[in-house]
C-alpha cells in the first residue's frame, strides 16, 4: 500500500472536488439551518483530527473527548470569566488541548493496540472526574451563557450566519493543516508507522517521537473543534468530556471512511444530522437507528462513505491504479 | 427561488414591524415537548409527557377559544448541544412558541438561554435545577412542578416532624450531591433533628454495600440519599438486600420519583420516604387522568412531572387565549404570573415573580407489598407541606427579576 505519486490529472480532479465541496459549504446556510451546519463542521473537524491518529498513524485513541472538552472549558472560561477576545480564547483552548495531548501522548504511546486505547480511555475518564469536581466548571450544570464576542473587535458574532462563515474558515484551516501534515514527509513516516512500525524503526527513525507529535497535533485540532463549538452553543458542559463522545467520534470516522481526509467530515455530518433531525421525528428510536447504520457500515461498506465513493470513482473512470484512498 | 424567499423574508420582517399589537404568530400556537425519551429520565418525563401535553390541548378544546394548537416533541438525549439546537430550530424554523418539560439541568440552562434570546416561553416540569428560579431566572421561564431545593427542604422538614429526627447521609461525591446534603442538613438541624454522620460515595457508583453497612451501624432513624438517578436506584436496591428497612431504619430519597418506585417494585422500595408534588391516587380528578393515562401508556402510571406538563400547558393555553398573543414570550409569561392557576390536577395555585409555580408538596412513604391493594397503589401520605412553606423564599434565590 504505497501512495501513488500525484499526477497532474489527479491533482486537477482533487482541486475540482475541493472547490465543489467548499462551494457547497459556503452555500449551506441558505438551504439548511446555520446552527446545524456549524455543529456538523465542529464535529467534522473533531473526527478528522481523530482520523489523523487512527487513519494515518494506526493509533486508536479512545479518549479524544478529553481534548474536545478541555478546550471547550478553557475557551468558555477565558471568554466568560477572563473576558478575553474571541480569537485568543480559541487559541488558548486549542493550546490547552495540545498540552494535554502531550501529557497523554507521553504515557499512551508507550503501549500498542488495545492497551493504547485503554490508557487513553483511562486518562480521559480522569479528566472527566477533574471537570466534574473542579469548582470553575459548574459541575453538571456546565459553564453556561458564554459570550461569543467579536472578531478583531469589528465583526459581531452574535448573528448565526456570520458565525457560520467564521466557523467554516476555522474548520477549513484545520483541514488544511491535516492535509499538509499527511502530504508531507512527516505524514509519509506516519503512514509507514501504520503499515510496519518495526521497519520504520529499523530505518533509523525515532518512532516514539513521530507518534507523540501526531498525538499532539491531533489533540490540538480536536481542541480547536471543541473551542469553536463553545462559540456556536455558548456553553461548555460535561457532555463534551463524556466517554460517549470518544465513542461517537470512532463511529463518525468509520462511517465516513477511515484514512480519507474528507471522510470523517461526511461521517460526522451523517451522525449529527441524524441525531438532530430524527430527534423530533422518531423520538427514542434515534440511538437504535444510528446503531443499525453503524452495523450495516461495518458489515457491507467497510471503507466508509468516502472510501466507497473513491472506489466507485476509480472503477467508473477505469483507473486501474491501486492507491490508498486518500482523496 | 433563493431570491424570492429572501424578498419574502424582508416583506415578512416589514409586516411584523408594522403589526406590533397582540397576535397569534402564523395563526397556530405550537407547543414543543423537549425531553429524554430513551435515557434515565424517560420514565419520569418521556413519552408520557408528550401524551400529557396532547391531552391538555384536547381537554382545553382550542377551537372553542378560536385557537389552533399543535404539539411537537423531540428527544434531547440528555445532551445540551442537541437540546439547544433543537430549541433554536424549533423557534426559528418550525415556529414553536413554547417549550415544555425539559429534564436534565445542563439542558435546562442551555435551552433557557435560547428561549430568552428569542423571546419565547419555557416551562420546566421534568427538570429540577433550582438555579432556574435563582441566578439563571429569566422573564421567559417558569419552573412548574418541583425543584431540588424544595424536595430537600420538604423532605428534611416533614421527616423530622413525623418522628425521623436522627439522620445519616449517603451523598454522591460531587457538587450536586454536596449541595443536596448541605440544604437538607440545614433543615434537619433547624427543625430539631440531628445528623449522626455522612459518607460520600463516588459518582457514578455501583457498589454501595460498605457505605450502607456504615449507615446501618450509625443507628440513625433516617438514611438520607443525597444522590440522583442510577445511584439512588442502586442504593435502594442494595439497601433492600441488607434488610435496612426491616431493621427499623427508613431511607429518605431526596430526588426520587414515582417512575423510580415503579421500576424498583414495592419489595425493594418499601419504606422509602420521598417528596412529590402530585400523586395520582389523591383526588377523583387525578384518578380520572391516571385511568386515561395508563390506558394510553402501556399500564404506566402518571408521574408528577407528567401531570405538571398537563397543568402547565393548560395554564399556558388559557393565558394565550385571553391575551390573544403567543409571539412575545415575556409578555405571555408576565400574564401567566399575573393570573392565578387553576386546573383539574394541581388545583389552585400561583406563579411567583421569579417564575416559581407555588403549590403544596406531599411527603409519602412507599407501601409494603401487603398494603398495596391495586396496581399503582404505591404511596401512603405522611405529611402535607403547605404551599407557602414548600418552596425557597423569594428573596433567597438571588433571581435578578426580584426587586429587593
Per-residue pLDDT of chain A (327 residues; tens, 9 = 90+): 445 554 556 667 778 878 888 888 888 888 888 999 999 999 999 999 999 999 999 999 999 999 999 999 999 999 999 999 999 999 999 999 999 999 999 999 999 989 999 999 999 999 999 999 888 988 888 899 999 988 888 888 988 899 999 999 999 999 999 999 999 999 999 999 999 999 999 999 999 999 999 999 999 999 999 999 999 999 999 999 999 999 999 999 999 999 888 899 999 999 999 988 888 787 778 888 888 988 888 888 888 888 888 888 888 876 555 444 444
DSSP A143: B
* Grid cell listed for A116: 493504547
Quick check: B325 pLDDT over 80? yes
Give B173's contacts (C-beta < 8 A, 6+ positions apart): B200, B201, B202, B203
Rounded to whole angstroms, the Cα distance separating B317 from B62 reads 8
8 Å CB contact between B301 and B290: yes
Contact assignment for B86 to A139 by CB distance below 8 Å: no
Quick check: B11 pLDDT over 50? no
Which residue from B minimizes the CA distance to A37? B85
Quick check: B372 pLDDT over 90? yes
Rounded to whole angstroms, the Cα distance separating A141 from A137 reads 8
> Looking at residue A9, what is its pLDDT?
62
> Looking at residue B261, what is its pLDDT?
94
Hey, what's the torsion of the CAs at A280, B324, B92, A281, to 10 degrees?
10
> Looking at residue A310, what is its pLDDT?
85
Q: SS in 3 state form for chain B? A: CHHHHHHHHHHHHHHHHHCCCCCCHHHCEEEEEEECCCCCCCCCCHHHHHHHHHHHHHHHCHHHHCCCEEEEEEECCCCHHHHHHHHHHHHHCCCCCEEEECCCHHHHHHHHHHHHHCCCEEEECCCCCHHHHCCCCCCCEEECCCCHHHHHHHHHHHHHHCCCCEEEEEEECCHHHHHHHHHHHHHHHHCCCEEEEEEEECCCCCCCHHHHHHHHHCCCCEEEEECCHHHHHHHHHHHHHCCCCCCCCEEEECCCCHHHHHHHCHHHHCCCEEEECCCCCCCHHHHHHHHHHHHHCCCCCCCHHHHHHHHHHHHHHHHHHHHCCCCCHHHHHHHHHHCCEEECCCEEEEECCCCEEECCEEEEEECCHHHCCCCCCCEEEEEEECHHHHCCCHHHCCCCCCCC
8 Å CB contact between B280 and B302: yes
Rounded to whole angstroms, the Cα distance separating B248 from B221 reads 7
> Looking at residue A4, what is its pLDDT?
52
One fold for B27-146+282-359 and B149-276+361-385: yes
Using only C-alpha atoms, what is the Rg of chain B? 22
pTM (two decimals): 0.87
Domain ranges of chain B: 27-146+282-359, 149-276+361-385
Give pLDDT tens digits for B336-365: 999 999 999 999 999 999 999 999 999 999
Give pLDDT tens digits for B300-319: 999 999 999 999 999 999 99
When mean pLDDT is compared across B3-17, B219-233, B371-385, the lowest value belongs to B3-17
Interface of A with B (CB under 8 A): 30, 33, 35-36, 39, 132-133, 135, 138-142, 144-145, 229, 233-235, 237-239, 275-276, 279-280, 283-284, 286-287
Rounded to whole angstroms, the Cα distance separating B95 from A204 reads 64
Rounded to whole angstroms, the Cα distance separating B30 from A31 reads 23
Q: Which residues of A78-95 are buried (b: 16+ CB within 10 A; e: fewer)?
A: bbbeeebebeebbbbbbb
Task: Point out which residues pair with B357 in neighbouring strands.
Answer: B351
Give B59's contacts (C-beta < 8 A, 6+ positions apart): B314, B344
When mean pLDDT is compared across A105-119, B17-31, B387-401, the lowest value belongs to B17-31
> Looking at residue B20, what is its pLDDT?
45
Interface test with A, best of B74, B96, B102, B182 (most A CBs within 10 A): B74
Span B27-146+282-359: which CATH code? 3.40.50.2300
> Looking at residue B289, what is its pLDDT?
97
Which among A141, A275, A279 has CB closest to B105?
Answer: A141
Contact assignment for B89 to A276 by CB distance below 8 Å: yes
What is the biggest distance separating any 2 CA atoms in chain B, rounded to whole angstroms?
Answer: 76
B149-276+361-385: which CATH topology? Rossmann fold (3.40.50)
| Angle between helix A160-182 and helix A207-233 axes, rounded to 10 deg | 170
> Looking at residue A210, what is its pLDDT?
96
The H-or-E segment that residue A201 falls in is helix A197-202
Quick check: B38 pLDDT over 90? no
Rounded to whole angstroms, the Cα distance separating B353 from B333 reads 10
Rounded to whole angstroms, the Cα distance separating A45 from A166 reads 14
> Looking at residue A322, what is its pLDDT?
46
> Looking at residue B2, what is its pLDDT?
42
Burial class of residue B258, CB neighbours in 10 A (0-12, 13-18, 19+): buried
Give pLDDT tens digits for B226-282: 998 889 999 999 999 999 988 899 999 999 999 999 999 999 999 999 999 999 999
Quick check: B381 pLDDT over 60? yes
Contact assignment for B81 to A33 by CB distance below 8 Å: no
Interface of B with A (CB under 8 A): 2, 32, 37-38, 42, 46-47, 72-82, 84-86, 88-90, 92-93, 105-106, 109-110, 112-113, 129, 131, 136, 174-176, 203
Amino acid at each position: 500500500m504505497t501512495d501513488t505519486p500525484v499526477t497532474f490529472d489527479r491533482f486537477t480532479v482533487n482541486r475540482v472536488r475541493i472547490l465543489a465541496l467548499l462551494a457547497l459549504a459556503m452555500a449551506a446556510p441558505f438551504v439548511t439551518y446555520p446552527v446545524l451546519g456549524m455543529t456538523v463542521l465542529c464535529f467534522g473537524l473533531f473526527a478528522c483530527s481523530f482520523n489523523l491518529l487512527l487513519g494515518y498513524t494506526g493509533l486508536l485513541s479512545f479518549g479524544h473527548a478529553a481534548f474536545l472538552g478541555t478546550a471547550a472549558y478553557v475557551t468558555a472560561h477565558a471568554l466568560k470569566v477572563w473576558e478575553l477576545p474571541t480569537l485568543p480564547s480559541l487559541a488558548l483552548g486549542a493550546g490547552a488541548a495540545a498540552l494535554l495531548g502531550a501529557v497523554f501522548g507521553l504515557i499512551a504511546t508507550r503501549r500498542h493496540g488495545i492497551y493504547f486505547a485503554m490508557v487513553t480511555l483511562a486518562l480521559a475518564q480522569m479528566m472527566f472526574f477533574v471537570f466534574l469536581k473542579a469548582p470553575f466548571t459548574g459541575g453538571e450544570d456546565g459553564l453556561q451563557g458564554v459570550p461569543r464576542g467579536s472578531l478583531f473587535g469589528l465583526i459581531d458574532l452574535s448573528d448565526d450566519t456570520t458565525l457560520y462563515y467564521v466557523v467554516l474558515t476555522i474548520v477549513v484551516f484545520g483541514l488544511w493543516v491535516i492535509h499538509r501534515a499527511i502530504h508531507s514527509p512527516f505524514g509519509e513516516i506516519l503512514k509507514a508507522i501504520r503499515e510496519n512500525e518495526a521497519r520504520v524503526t529499523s530505518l533509523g527513525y525515532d518512532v516514539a517521537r513521530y507518534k507523540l507529535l501526531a498525538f499532539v497535533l491531533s489533540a490540538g485540532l480536536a481542541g480547536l473543534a471543541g473551542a469553536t463549538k463553545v462559540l456556536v452553543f455558548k456553553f461548555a458542559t460535561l457532555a463534551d468530556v463524556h466517554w460517549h463522545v470518544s465513542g461517537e467520534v470512532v463511529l463518525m470516522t468509520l462511517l465516513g471512511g477511515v484514512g480519507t481526509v474528507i471522510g470523517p467530515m461526511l461521517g460526522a455530518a451523517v451522525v449529527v444530522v441524524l441525531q438532530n433531525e430524527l430527534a423530533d421525528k422518531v423520538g427514542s428510536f434515534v440511538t437504535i437507528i444510528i446503531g443499525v447504520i453503524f452495523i450495516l457500515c461495518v458489515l457491507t461498506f467497510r471503507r466508509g462513505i468516502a472510501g466507497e465513493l473513491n472506489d466507485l470513482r476509480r472503477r467508473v473512470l477505469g483507473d486501474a491504479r491501486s492507491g490508498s484512498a486518500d482523496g | 427561488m433563493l431570491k424570492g424567499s429572501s424578498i419574502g423574508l424582508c416583506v415578512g420582517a416589514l409586516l411584523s414591524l408594522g403589526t406590533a399589537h397582540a397576535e397569534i404568530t402564523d395563526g397556530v400556537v405550537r407547543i414543543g415537548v423537549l425531553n429524554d425519551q430513551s435515557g434515565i429520565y424517560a420514565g419520569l418525563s418521556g413519552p408520557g409527557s408528550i401524551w400529557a401535553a396532547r391531552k391538555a390541548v384536547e381537554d382545553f378544546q382550542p377551537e372553542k377559544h378560536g385557537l389552533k394548537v399543535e404539539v411537537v416533541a423531540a428527544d434531547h438525549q440528555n445532551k445540551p448541544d442537541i437540546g439547544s439546537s433543537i430549541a433554536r430550530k424549533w423557534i426559528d424554523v418550525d415556529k414553536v412558541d413554547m417549550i415544555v418539560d425539559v429534564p436534565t439541568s445542563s439542558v435546562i440552562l442551555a435551552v433557557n438561554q435560547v428561549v430568552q434570546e428569542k423571546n419565547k416561553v419555557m416551562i420546566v416540569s421534568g427538570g429540577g435545577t433550582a438555579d432556574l428560579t435563582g441566578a439563571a431566572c429569566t422573564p421567559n421561564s417558569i419552573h412548574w412542578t418541583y425543584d431540588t431545593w424544595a424536595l430537600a427542604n420538604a423532605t428534611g422538614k416533614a421527616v423530622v416532624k413525623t418522628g425521623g429526627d436522627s439522620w445519616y447521609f449517603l451523598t454522591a461525591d460531587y457538587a450536586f450531591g454536596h449541595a443536596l446534603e448541605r440544604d437538607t442538613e440545614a433543615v434537619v438541624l433547624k427543625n430539631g433533628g440531628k445528623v449522626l454522620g455522612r459518607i460520600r460515595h463516588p459518582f457514578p457508583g455501583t457498589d454501595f454495600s460498605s457505605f450502607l453497612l456504615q449507615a446501618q451501624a450509625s443507628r440513625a432513624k433516617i438514611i438520607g440519599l443525597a444522590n440522583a438517578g442510577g445511584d439512588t436506584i442502586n442504593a435502594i436496591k442494595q439497601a433492600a438486600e441488607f434488610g435496612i428497612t426491616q431493621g427499623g431504619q427508613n431511607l429518605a430519597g431526596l430526588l426520587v420519583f414515582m417512575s423510580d418506585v415503579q421500576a424498583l417494585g414495592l419489595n425493594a422500595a418499601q419504606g422509602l420516604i420521598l417528596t412529590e408534588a402530585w400523586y395520582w391516587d389523591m383526588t377523583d380528578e387525578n384518578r380520572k387522568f391516571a385511568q386515561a393515562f395508563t390506558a394510553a401508556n402501556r399500564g404506566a402510571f402518571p408521574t408528577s412531572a407528567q401531570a405538571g406538563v398537563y397543568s402547565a400547558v393548560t395554564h399556558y393555553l388559557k393565558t394565550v387565549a385571553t391575551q390573544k398573543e403567543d409571539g412575545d414570550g415575556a409578555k405571555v409569561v408576565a400574564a401567566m404570573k399575573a393570573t392565578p392557576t387553576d386546573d383539574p390536577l394541581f388545583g389552585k395555585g400561583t406563579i411567583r415573580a421569579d417564575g416559581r409555580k407555588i403549590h403544596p408538596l406531599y411527603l409519602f412513604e412507599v407501601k409494603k407489598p401487603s398494603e398495596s391493594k391495586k396496581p399503582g397503589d404505591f404511596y401512603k401520605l405522611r405529611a402535607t407541606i403547605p404551599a407557602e412553606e414548600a418552596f425557597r423564599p423569594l428573596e433567597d434565590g438571588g433571581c435578578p427579576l426580584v426587586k429587593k
